[in-house]
Amino acid sequence: EHPGHAGFNVNIPYRAMLPKGLEGLVVTGLSTSAHRDAVPLIRMQPDIQNQGYAAGVAAAMAAKANTLLRNIDLGELQKHLVEIGNLPESVLTDKDSFPLPDEALAKAVETLKQGHGAAALMTDPQRAVPLLKKAYQQAEPQHRLIYAKTLAVLGDSTGLEDLLKTVTSAEKWDKGWNYRGMGQFGSALSELDTIIIVLGRTGDRRALPAILEKARLLDASVEFSHHRAVGLACELIGDRQAAPVLAEVLQKPGMMGHAHTSIEIARKLGAPGGTNAETTRRESLRELLLARALYRCGDHNGLGKRILEEYTRDLRGHLARHAKAVLEKK
Tell me the pLDDT of the chain (330 aa) as tens digits.
565 677 778 888 999 999 999 999 999 988 888 887 778 788 888 888 999 999 999 999 999 999 999 999 999 999 999 999 999 999 999 988 889 999 999 999 999 999 999 999 999 999 999 999 999 999 999 999 999 999 999 999 999 999 999 999 999 999 999 987 766 667 889 999 999 999 999 999 999 999 999 999 999 999 999 999 999 999 999 999 999 999 999 999 999 999 999 999 988 887 556 656 788 899 999 999 999 999 999 999 999 999 999 999 999 999 999 999 999 996
User: Does residue 167 form part of some domain?
Assistant: no
Position 71, amino acid: N
Q: Are residues 195 and 286 in the same domain?
A: yes
Q: Give the rounded distance of the alpha carbon of 1 from its chain centre.
A: 23
pLDDT value at position 268? 86
Contact call for residues 33 and 14 (beta carbons, < 8 A): no
Same domain, 301 and 237: yes
* Claim to verify: residue 137 and residue 205 sit in the same structural domain: no
Distance between CA 217 and CA 249 in Å, rounded? 8
pLDDT at 123: 93
- Answer with the one of 37, 66, 92 that is the final residue of a domain: 92
Determine the longest span between alpha carbons in the chain, in angstroms.
Answer: 67
Query: Could you give the CA distance from residue 81 to residue 93 in angstroms, rounded to a whole number?
Result: 14
Q: Does residue 64 lie within any of the structural domains?
A: yes
Are residues 199 and 87 both part of a single domain? Answer: no
Q: Does residue 129 share a domain with residue 34? A: no
Same domain, yes or no, for 197 and 261?
yes
73 lies in some domain:
yes
Query: Is there a cis peptide before residue 101, judged by omega within 30 degrees of 0?
Result: no
Q: What letters, b where the CB count within 10 A reaches 16 and e where it falls short, cover 203-241?
A: ebeebbebbbebbeebeeebbbbbbbbbbbbbbbbebee
Please check whether residue 87 lies inside any domain of the structure. Answer: yes
Q: Are residues 209 and 281 in the same domain?
A: yes
> Which of these three, 64, 92, 120, is where a domain ends?
92
Are 126 and 211 contained in the same domain? Answer: no
- For residues 304 and 239, state if they share a domain: yes
Q: Which domain holds residue 107?
A: 102-158
Residues 59 and 82 in one domain: yes
Structural domain tally of the chain? 3
> Residue 268: how many CB atoms within 10 A of its CB?
11
How many helices (DSSP H) and strands (DSSP E) are in the chain? 15, 0
Q: Are residues 294 and 247 both part of a single domain? A: yes
- Total-model pTM: 0.84
Position 181 in a domain: no
Tell me the C-alpha distance between 243 and 221, whole Å.
21
Asked if residue 127 and residue 18 are part of one domain, the reply reads no
